[in-house]
């Protein structure tokens, strides 16, 4: 990839160029330290002051930021992509939203062993889009990956996930969920979808009532799905 193209891609991902270079000891984290060791191109670290006469010991912070964003964006995204906003309810609905510093420090537990003054953390945050950039887990209303059956019959989990997603964003709302239909936890949004009148969310298909006495239906439906799934359908 040419430099101009690489730069364009960098900015289109919401990253900012921060300058400076950093050594593996400052980063601490195993994966990030390895990135530095594998691609070191600079002779000094702007954060701890370490210098080398001959062998490169550091990489541009921009490279670290770019790599971090690649990893992060597999699991996290901008809440505007997927989360309902309601100013009366105090903002993003029903999910944990992190700013960049919270994401790095609290959620991802990034430890920067030599960063006593916080300069490196600030620089990484700035590179990743600044303090105002927000992140949520991808598909925050879905099932957290660790809760999905890991023994997953692939088709079975798809069926379960699909069939527990009852909600659509109303077609008049200029916003799409990453997946249609999607799941909502019981709460304000789900309430809006089943309430009277037009709302941001709507149900994708009618709910099946589960009451005492009709558990036979329920069992039959699920046994049929299990049966289909075990045959790979
Ligand atoms: Zn350093």
> Domain boundaries in the chain?
3-137, 145-230
State the distance from the centre of ligand 1 to the C-alpha of 107, rounded, in angstroms: 24
Regarding pTM above 0.75, the answer is: no
- Identify the pLDDT of residue 166: 52
> Does residue 33 register a pLDDT over 70?
yes
Which pairing describes strands 201-203 and 58-60: parallel, antiparallel, or unpaired?
Answer: unpaired
State the distance from the centre of ligand 1 to the C-alpha of 37, rounded, in angstroms: 12
State the distance from the centre of ligand 1 to the C-alpha of 105, rounded, in angstroms: 19
Q: Which long-range contacts (CB under 8 A, 24 or more apart) does 129-133 make?
A: 129/14, 129/15, 129/16, 129/100, 130/16, 130/100, 131/99, 131/100, 131/101, 132/99, 133/14, 133/78, 133/99, 133/100
State the distance from the centre of ligand 1 to the C-alpha of 134, rounded, in angstroms: 27
d(CA 39, CA 2) in angstroms, rounded, equals: 18
State the distance from the centre of ligand 1 to the C-alpha of 128, rounded, in angstroms: 19
State the distance from the centre of ligand 1 to the C-alpha of 101, rounded, in angstroms: 20
pLDDT in tens, 55-92: 999 999 999 998 888 878 877 888 877 777 767 766 76
């Amino acid at each position: 990839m040419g430099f101009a193209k690489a730069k364009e891609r960098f900015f289109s991902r919401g990253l900012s160029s921060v300058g400076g270079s950093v050594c593996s000891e400052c980063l601490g984290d195993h994966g990030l330290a390895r990135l530095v060791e594998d691609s070191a191109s600079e002779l000094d670290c702007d954060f701890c002051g370490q210098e080398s006469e001959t062998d490169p010991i550091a990489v541009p912070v921009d490279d670290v930021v770019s790599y971090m964003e690649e990893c992060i964006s597999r699991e996290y995204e901008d809440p505007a992509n997927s989360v309902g906003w309601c100013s009366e309810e105090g903002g993003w609905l029903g999910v944990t939203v992190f700013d960049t510093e919270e994401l790095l420090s609290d959620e991802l537990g990034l430890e920067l062993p030599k960063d006593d003054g916080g300069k490196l953390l600030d620089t990484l945050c700035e590179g990743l889009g600044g303090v105002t950039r927000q992140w949520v887990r991808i598909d925050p209303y879905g099932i957290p990956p660790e809760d999905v059956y890991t023994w997953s019959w692939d088709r079975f989990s798809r069926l379960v996930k699909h069939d527990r997603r009852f909600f659509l964003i109303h077609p008049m709302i200029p916003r799409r969920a990453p997946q249609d239909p999607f799941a909502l936890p019981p709460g304000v949004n789900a309430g809006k979808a089943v309430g009277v009148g037009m709302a941001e969310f709507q149900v994708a298909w009618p709910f099946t009532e589960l009451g005492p006495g009709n558990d036979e239906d329920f069992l039959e439906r699920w046994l049929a799905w299990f049966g289909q799934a075990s045959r790979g359908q």
